[in-house]
Structure 1
Amino acid sequence: MKANHLDRPAIAPLPAIDRARQVTEALASYVQRASLKAGDRLPAERELMTALAVGRSTIREAISHFQALGVIETRKGSGTYLLKPVSSATIHMPLSFDPVHLRDALLQTLEVRRGIEVEAGMVAARKRTAEDLVIIEAKLVEMERVQILKGAAGPEDLAFHLAVYDATHNPLFKQLLEQMREAFERFWTHPFDRLDFARRSFPFHRTLFNAIVAGHPEAARLETLKILEIVEEDIKDMSQ
């Protein structure tokens, strides 16, 4: 007896092409083929837009990826320069995994996130500058504004944590996040289709900021743990 075609699983649609990733790979390939060395200048933004047939925002997203990895720097009024040689084989080494259940993915990633973010908060409390505090507070205020307006914040919450990473003045924190971006971003895309995911943690972002302002690493550690404890509780509660 022939199986009814209606019983067959649907063919999943192809994922959208990640233009920024394609640009990143094209740039890495260009650096390798052109044998560029540390200190060499990369093509101008407009030249890249024309050559790769993409918009300015895509070019800038790719450039930001390279900056986060610490392999290029942009000098105002001068251009973008290579700090370290890269290739298409080395620029993408994401630390990711693909467990079957979202619950497992979030809990396993949280174990790593806890170690990184607790330490980042403590280092930021010791090394932050006045300029860092202005940037962190701006990100915090925007996060709080979106939270009040929409009842949830995604990219704004991530931007706050990235600002704390920057305040450590240790590029390895941000590089680690960049390598684990795919796994980490699950926390800021409303897992389980719940806009209230980790909503109870929002007040502790303000107290974390206060601890960093005060220069108290231990207080920063405790406030970060409060945030992540709520995240863990919501993962377990909402995945039942």
Structure 2
Amino acid sequence: MSDQLPSVWTADLDGLLPLPPMDRLRDTLDALGRFVEGSGLKAGDRLPAERELMQALGVGRSTIREAARQLQALGVVETRKGSGSYLLRPISAATIHMPLSITATGLREALLQTLDIRRGLEAEASALAAIRHTADDLARMSERLVEMERVHRLNGTAGPEDLLFHLSIYDAAQNPLFRQLLEQMREAFERFFTKPFDRPDFAGRSFPLHREMFDAIAARDPGVAREKTLAILDIVEEDIKDMSQ
């Protein structure tokens, strides 16, 4: 990034029009892509303020913030505390990677489709985390595992905490593409962590294996880390099939 102060977009927002109520997040990302392209904003330029975007697009704060979060995850926007959001590289409506959608008609099919992708991503992420993790990564993974185990012992399940533990492994793999792919599939992935089939015991048998997976990562053993990850997901598949009958 240049040491020069970034330029700030100060013209009116005529290129942004209020959006209809349907699929506001997708439309917001689309509109921002068209706006950046049409206004000629460059890498390092600051985007319009959150309140300006809310007024111009006719959407709520949560929609603007979710759009900003997705753009950050895709590596095209950087948010600086107290300063605003800045463009890291030019975008257009055609180049923004929209979240992937699941077309399955039922929860069972959706979970099984997502599980195929999880196997590829999480097994490799665990193996890479075993090779590449730093001391800080290991401390973060340990902290989240302990919290996941605490909540699981208390409630019999620990969906959000389980997700945070897996995210810490993605981060320890030292490859931002894992996070970017997850952002595009977040809605589908989160179905695993919201008590599928109204069963709090969903995939509960896999919880002890999370500690074994962590131990393999800590020991820098990518083979065992991958093996334990796949064992966890095998249990998940068994429960999807058993509980959806």
After TM superposition, the score normalised by the length of structure 1 is 0.80
Partner of 2:131: 126
The count of residues paired between Structure 1 and Structure 2 equals: 224
Partner of 2:175: 170
* RMSD of aligned residue pairs (Cα, Å): 2.5
In 1, distance between residues paired with 2:162 and 2:26? 23
1:109 alignment partner AA: T
In 2, distance between residues paired with 1:146 and 1:48? 39
Alignment of 1:1-240 (within 5 A): 23-45=28-50, 48=53, 54-55=60-61, 59-75=64-80, 78-240=83-245
Q: Deviations over 1:60-117 (max 9, x none)?
A: 4332211211112234565432122223343243333322232222222211210111
Q: What is the Cα deviation at residue 19 of structure 1?
A: 6.0
SS in 2 for 1:88: coil
Residues 24 and 59 of structure 2 are in contact (CA less than 8 Å); yes or no, is this contact kept in structure 1? no
SS in 2 for 1:81: strand
Residues 150 and 46 from structure 1, CA distance in 2 versus in 1: closer, same or farther, beyond 3 angstroms? farther
SS in 2 for 1:73: strand
2:60 alignment partner AA: V
1:172 alignment partner AA: L
Q: What is the Cα deviation at residue 42 of structure 1?
A: 2.3
Q: Deviations over 1:100-147 (max 9, x none)?
A: 232222222211210111001001111111121222222222322322
In 1, distance between residues paired with 2:85 and 2:200? 39
In 2, distance between residues paired with 1:142 and 1:111? 27
In 1, distance between residues paired with 2:35 and 2:152? 42
2:171 alignment partner AA: D
Partner of 1:6: none
1:54 alignment partner AA: G
In 2, distance between residues paired with 1:19 and 1:145? 37
- Structure 2 unaligned blocks of 5 or more: 1-20
In 1, distance between residues paired with 2:180 and 2:126? 16
Residues 209 and 228 of structure 2 are in contact (CA less than 8 Å); yes or no, is this contact kept in structure 1? yes
Partner of 2:17: none
Moved more, 81-90 or 202-211: 81-90
- Percent identity (aligned): 65
SS in 1 for 2:85: strand
In 2, distance between residues paired with 1:133 and 1:17? 42
- Structure 1 unaligned blocks of 5 or more: 1-15
In 2, distance between residues paired with 1:96 and 1:50? 28
